[in-house]
Amino acid sequence: MSTFQLDTHTSRANPTPKPMRRLTVPKIRARKIAGRTSEPLVMLTAYTARQARLLDEHCDMLLVGDSVGQVIYGLPSTLQVTLDMMIAHGAAVMRGSFHSLVVVDLPFGTYEASPQQAFETASRVMAETGCAAVKLEGGEDVAETIAFLSRRGIPVMAHVGLTPQAVNALGGYGARGRSQEEHDKIIADGRAVEQAGAFAVVAEGVVEPIAVALAQTLQIPVIGIGASAECDGQVLVTDDMLGMFERVPRFVKKYGDLAGTISNTAAKYAAEVRARTFPSADQTYQPKD
């Protein structure tokens, strides 16, 4: 339950929270029973308190993704994202949400060296943001790390298939699993992270039969992105599905045209400023009689 009251009089960013229980890792994991999730899990990315507040009631999980580097900071890839950036945005999303399970990505270079490095990074993320879980990329190669974290009380969401942090090694952002070798590797990766203790796994940019096989094979929820509707849940970058960008991955469905709305609204504002019709009497302070 929420045990604190935010001051709603001094900040537009802090609405009064509704008393409710935040979803937990065991509850998310328990949504998949006997290898099937009857109601798919809904997950979207969030980077700010206000964005989290708007998404929270509609989602089961909010992912503070390292996609923040491209979406918010205009970086060329996720590789330039720092741990301090992830912690700042993770804390903001926690402040803006009261229902969804919040998962924070571990950025490139902060967990690969050793399980101990991963623990130091993950424990700092959880302590400084208050999030419930972390996400890291990889399969068999990070299974030891996932097991190390899980044994020490850090819930881990894994990420297999197209792993953006390894884009240079993969040779681009193309779909994975078109060869039998890749197919077998992705299935093996899924099994490895499950056995290591991951509570869920994201399957990104994989050909549909692999996504279906993963969802049917693994006992943990498989969250698809560019995968299949047969997965146990779905995740998208929120700004992509809202229509904030002209260029998006093929698997994105644009549910809105927020970029157009913002541009048109700014144009109206600019026109009124230049015409001196804004501000009007309604937006200015007049002397009292």
Predicted pLDDT at 9: 52
* 112 vs 118: CA distance, rounded Å: 7
Residue 17 has pLDDT above 80, yes or no: no
Which domains are seen in the chain, by residue range?
A: 25-259 (3.20.20.60)
pLDDT score recorded for residue 57: 95
Instruction: Name the H helices within 31-114.
Output: 49-56, 68-71, 83-96
CA 168 to chain centroid, in Å, comes to 22
Q: Which residues pair with 203 in a beta bridge?
A: 160, 224
Average pLDDT, integer, range 46-60: 97
Lowest mean pLDDT among 80-94, 106-120, 151-165: 151-165
A 10 A CB-CB count for 111 gives 24
Enumerate the β-bridge partners of residue 161: 204
pLDDT at site 13: 60
pLDDT of residue 1: 38
**Which residues belong to the annotated binding site for 3-methyl-2-oxobutanoate?**
66-67, 105, 135
> Does pLDDT of 15 surpass 70?
no
Query: Strand, coil or helix: what is 49?
Result: helix
Global confidence as pTM: 0.91
- Whether 101 and 61 have beta carbons less than 8 Å apart is answered as yes
Name the band, by pLDDT with cuts 50, 70 and 90, for residue 249: confident
Q: pLDDT tens digits for 188-217?
A: 999 999 999 999 999 999 999 999 999 999
Confidence grade of residue 181 (pLDDT, cut at 50, 70, 90): confident
CA angle 58, 59, 62 (to 5 degrees): 135
Q: Is the pLDDT of residue 170 over 90?
A: no
**Torsion angles phi and psi, residue 233, rounded to 5:** -175, 175
What span, in angstroms and rounded, lies between the C-alpha atoms of 211 and 251? Answer: 14
Catalytic residues: 204
Binding site residue list: 66-67, 105, 135, 137
